[in-house]
Each structure stands twice: as C-alpha cells, then as structure tokens.
Amino acid sequence: MNVLSYFSPTGGTKRAVSMLAKAMGGEFTNVDLTDYEVRQQPISLTTSDLLIIGIPVYGGRLPAVDDLLNCFTGDHTPCIVCSCFGNRDFDDALLELSDAMTSRGFEVVAGCALVIPHVYSDRLGASRPDESDKKEIAAFAEQVCAKLSANDHASPNLPGNRPYKVWNKPERAPQHDESCTSCGVCAAVCPVRAIDKETFAADPTRCIQCMRCVRQCPKHARALDVRAMTERLESLFLRRADNAFFL
C-alpha cells in the first residue's frame, strides 16, 4: 500500500507532496494529519508499503504538535520525508522529520525540502510549487522510483544539526471579533483543539499559529496581527529560494 500523509493547515504542504506522489505514479491512500481525529487512529505499515510524508516548517523545526506523528508504526517501511517551507529555510526540520520516522520503524530512503507559500505573507513563495518546481519534483520522483526498484533503502545524508535549533513557540493566537456568528468552523478545523467550542476564544499556549482558522472562517472574523513578522520576513527573504533533494 502506498500512503501519502501530510500536515497541511492552509493547503500548501498537501499541494506540494501531492505533486510528488502523482509524479511517483500509482495509487496513494491519503492520511491528513491536520485532522485531530485522524492522528488518533494507529496506522501500521509493512516493509512492502511506501510512505510519503510532508510536514511544514515552523521556526526551522517540526510544528509543536505533541501527537503529530504518533499514529505511525513502520516495519522497515520505505519512507520519503518532505519538509515544506515558506521561501525562508528548512533549517533542522527535514533532519528532525527523518529522525522521527526512523524512530517509528521506517527506513528513510529519500528526502526533499519544497518551497510553498509562507503562511504569514502573500509574497513569500507565492504560487509555489510552480511549473519549474514541478519539473524538479518529477525528476526527483524518477530517481526515487529507480532507487526503490533496485531495493536500495540507503539513508540519504540530510542537512541539519543535532541537537536541533531551539524554537520557542510564541504564545499568541488568532481571536474573533464582533463579526463572529458562532458558526463553529474555527473550532472544528483547529488541528490542536486550541479553540473553545462555546466561546470560540483561542488558547495562546496551545495555538501553533498555523492560520487555519483565519483562512477558513466564512465571515473573516478571526485575525492575528503578524505585520511586524511579515515585514521582517519580506525584507530578508523575497529572493526565490531553491528546493532541495536528497537521495
């Protein structure tokens, strides 16, 4: 069985790794880790299965979600790890993802870092992956398929540092305003259940600032002031960042 799994609060990571899965060929079962309930269901894969897993980069690390990957158990299962970043850098996230999957019984055979739109900016990584990226992803997929066909499960040399970089998650959260109609969409879609289902207030200590509630609110009633962060990022990282591929 081929499995495509992703944590994708605003859709960028899903789009990027879906492009990779399509280029690999064959049928994939989708596992959306953005859904809290999905993460509570155990998924065991065997040596004859294949897992592609894509996780966005938050502060150079994996998102601060305690149960993010706990549903997975592998048995020498080949795995392709993908870190998706908003045109800045992927820092230690790809290595951290590889380590996490290896500890769960998977054999990481390839890895990639793919540029996607930044969650705080309409300019950083806009429209990525684009047609040029698509060609790079297709070429990588061809190489991975050849490696798997040769039964080569050698681990790639991934960049990054151990211990991983320190990222102190800011304690802030999007809050609703007077235009909120109490429809409950925000609480339903929050990946970490940080939004109260009655008051719709968000808990800053649990919120990961993924902006999913902001993007999916039908009344645009939720907001988080990240203007200072956006200005800083756009002043430093408007150049076109490269994807990175590792075999």
Peptide bond connecting 129 to the previous residue in cis, omega within 30 degrees of 0:
yes
Query: Which domain range does residue 95 map to?
Result: 2-163
Task: Provide the pLDDT for residue 120.
Answer: 97
Same-domain pairing of 125 and 201? no
DSSP E strands, the chain: 2-6, 29-32, 43-44, 50-56, 72-73, 77-85, 106-115, 175-176, 222-223, 244-246
Report the domain count for the chain: 2
Residue at which a domain ends, from 120, 137, 163: 163
Task: Provide the pLDDT for residue 224.
Answer: 97
Same-domain pairing of 184 and 152? no
Per-residue pLDDT of the chain (247 residues; tens, 9 = 90+): 999 999 999 999 999 999 999 999 999 999 999 999 999 999 999 999 999 999 999 999 999 999 999 999 999 999 999 999 999 999 999 999 999 999 999 999 999 999 999 999 999 999 999 999 999 999 999 999 999 999 999 999 999 999 999 988 899 999 999 999 999 999 999 999 999 999 999 999 999 999 999 999 999 999 999 999 999 999 999 999 999 999 9
Same-domain pairing of 13 and 127? yes
Same-domain pairing of 223 and 129? no
**Do the beta carbons of residue 112 and residue 246 sit within 8 Å?**
yes
Same-domain pairing of 101 and 141? yes
Q: What is the pTM of this model?
A: 0.97
Same-domain pairing of 143 and 40? yes
The secondary structure of 148-183, three-state, reads HHCCCCCCCCCCCCCCCCCCCCCCCCCEECCCCCCC
Decide if 205 is inside a domain. Answer: yes
User: Bridge-partner residues for 3, per DSSP?
Assistant: 29, 51
| Residues 9, 241: Cα–Cα separation, whole Å | 22
Same-domain pairing of 41 and 117? yes
